[in-house]
Structure 1
Amino acid sequence: MFELEGSIAVVTGAGSGIGRAIAETLAAQGARVAVADIDLEAARAAAAAIGPARAEPFPVDVADQASVDALRDAVLGRLGVPDIIVNNAGWDRAQPFLQTDRPFWEKVVAINLLGPIAVCRAFVPAMVERGAGGRVVNIASDAGRVGSTGETVYAGAKGGVIAFTKSLAREVARAGITVNCVCPGPTDTPLFRQQPERIQEALANAIPFKRIARPGEIAAAVAFFASPEAGYITGQVLSVSGGLTMAG
């Protein structure tokens, strides 16, 4: 287990699913976690399950700049400058591209691409100014690496997250900050379970391991990138998909 004792982590979309698993994993390894979510009650429940000594809930809508700025001010005021930023908040609705419209595109891009950009812009300057390095881990998707039928705009946004990760990694390396990206494949989350059962089964059968990922398996990859052991790794993209996608 990696040791993160004494570090401060901000995890967006941490009220449930993968984000909650990430928050729990980082807290178990010693970090104090800002559990940030648009659903404040979910954030409170997740933080309570972790325990007040290790987690504190915060509201945030990553698609709203004022909300992101308020999160920054609250975290800096109550916890201090974070050592770890995990951009996990995301949203999509699977449907054919030709059935989508501009409001849908804008919502997908605002949450999945502009959200991580806004959160990084809010917190990274303080990390640079402090001069003690840090970790940024962006959660993209294998859809952004290889495409995904019915998720065309989402795939485009997540592809943007991958490119943003690589470029930001170059800019902040001199400050000792690493920026990496985890791309989950199909994962057992409430959103995944909303899909028709036949689609769930088809996805599981397409994976060499014949099962979908558990949220904790995604969290383990994030914890590695957040750890001291990953201090010389930056600008990298790690697929956690059970071998569903094996493209470089």
Structure 2
Amino acid sequence: CATSSRPLPAMSHPKTVLITGADRGIGLAIACRLAAYGWRIALHGLADDAAREAAMAAVRTAGASEVIFLGGDLRDSTATQQLAQAALVWHGRIDVLVNNAGMQYTSPLTEMPAAMWDSIIAVNLSAAFHLMQACLPGMLAAGWGRVVNIASVHGLVASVNKAPYVASKFGIIGLSRAAALETAGSGVTVNAICPGWVETALIEPQILARMRELVLEKQPSGQMSQPADIAEAVAMLCGDWAHNLTGVALPLDGGWTAQYQPPCRAANLAPDISGIRRLW
């Protein structure tokens, strides 16, 4: 996987990192980027043996001091909790948690299989909750930690035929913000990254025929992001210099969400509630 040519800033002692969905694409790019700090990287995924070995080799080459690969079907809460425990046992705690694993399925809401709803919510949202719940105590005890949740532009603006995906991504942003408030001032930060179109296998089937038109329609930049772009944003959020950057939903969307504003704010029509007695 590609690594940045930019010089790396000095970081505090080597960290232990857990990244879900890290056997390819965005997750693997994140792993390689953080490996360049010499950190210990725990990869998670459902890849076969050959793909696992290839991912681990790429992360070692990128500079990781240690690498392990952990499996686990995130649709199963028990398997997710077992993943967390296996990662924690490795070096006693997880310093950096990147919840990257995700899935989606396109269908009108009225035709969406209930089982697909359950799976998408489990992987995209519930798994992040379980892993954060397991990893945050160690971060808080150490007085340092970073949680980065890979959300989506669809956590900021909705899209048709993606109800469970949109719900899960709005949810992961809400989870990130709630956790950021609970950990504020502790040395632990919790943030979300909201990519627009990224060149990964997850979206390729949707855009083969109309890739250019779709990108131009949604992203004013006219350019898709690369997995390495997301990895750079994660590295920034994990730095010691980002200690006061928490509760952020960071768009990496080529200007997609810059086109939208809440109607009241855009039209300066916010109601005057100065005379209303607060009842809550």
CA distance in 1, matches of 2:142, 2:66: 24
1:63 CA drift (Å):
2.4
CA distance in 1, matches of 2:10, 2:130: 28
**Within the alignment, does 1:152 sit opposite 2:175 as a pair?**
no
The equivalent of 2:56 in structure 1 is: 47
The equivalent of 1:33 in structure 2 is: 41
The equivalent of 1:176 in structure 2 is: 187
Q: More displaced, 48-57 or 212-221?
A: 48-57
The TM-score, its normalising length taken from structure 1, stands at: 0.92
CA distance in 2, matches of 1:222, 1:134: 13
CA distance in 2, matches of 1:124, 1:44: 29
Amino acid at match of 1:101: P
1:38 CA drift (Å):
2.7
The equivalent of 1:161 in structure 2 is: 172
The equivalent of 1:15 in structure 2 is: 23
Coordinate RMSD, CA, aligned: 1.8
The DSSP-based 3-state class of the residue aligned with 2:147 is strand
The DSSP-based 3-state class of the residue aligned with 1:146 is coil
The TM-score, its normalising length taken from structure 2, stands at: 0.82
**Within the alignment, does 1:111 sit opposite 2:123 as a pair?**
yes
**Percentage of identical aligned residues:** 34
1:196 CA drift (Å):
4.2
The equivalent of 1:58 in structure 2 is: 70
Contact map agreement 1:133 1:177 (CA 8 A) in 2: yes
The equivalent of 2:148 in structure 1 is: 137
Q: More displaced, 113-122 or 36-45?
A: 36-45
Amino acid at match of 1:226: C
The equivalent of 1:237 in structure 2 is: 249
Contact map agreement 2:39 2:65 (CA 8 A) in 1: no
The DSSP-based 3-state class of the residue aligned with 1:161 is helix
**Within the alignment, does 1:100 sit opposite 2:108 as a pair?**
no
Deviations 1:64-104 (A, max 9, x none): 22222222222222233111100001100122222212111
1:242 CA drift (Å):
1.2
1:174 CA drift (Å):
4.0
Deviations 1:136-163 (A, max 9, x none): 0111111110111221221111101001
1:3 CA drift (Å):
4.1
Contact map agreement 1:68 1:122 (CA 8 A) in 2: no
CA distance in 2, matches of 1:85, 1:2: 20
**Within the alignment, does 1:75 sit opposite 2:87 as a pair?**
yes
For the structure 1 residues 58 and 2, does the alpha-carbon distance in structure 2 shift closer, same or farther, using more than 3 Å as the test? farther
Count residues with an aligned counterpart: 247
CA distance in 2, matches of 1:81, 1:233: 22
Contact map agreement 1:33 1:54 (CA 8 A) in 2: yes
Q: More displaced, 238-247 or 52-61?
A: 52-61
Amino acid at match of 1:44: E
CA distance in 2, matches of 1:236, 1:168: 11
**Within the alignment, does 1:220 sit opposite 2:232 as a pair?**
yes
Contact map agreement 2:207 2:214 (CA 8 A) in 1: no
Q: More displaced, 67-76 or 17-26?
A: 67-76
CA distance in 1, matches of 2:144, 2:170: 26
The DSSP-based 3-state class of the residue aligned with 1:212 is coil
Amino acid at match of 1:45: A
Question: Which structure is larger by alpha-carbon Rg, 1 or 2?
Answer: 2
1:134 CA drift (Å):
0.5
Q: More displaced, 133-142 or 195-204?
A: 195-204
Contact map agreement 1:13 1:90 (CA 8 A) in 2: yes
Amino acid at match of 2:79: S
The equivalent of 1:90 in structure 2 is: 102
For the structure 1 residues 232 and 240, does the alpha-carbon distance in structure 2 shift closer, same or farther, using more than 3 Å as the test? same
Amino acid at match of 2:56: A
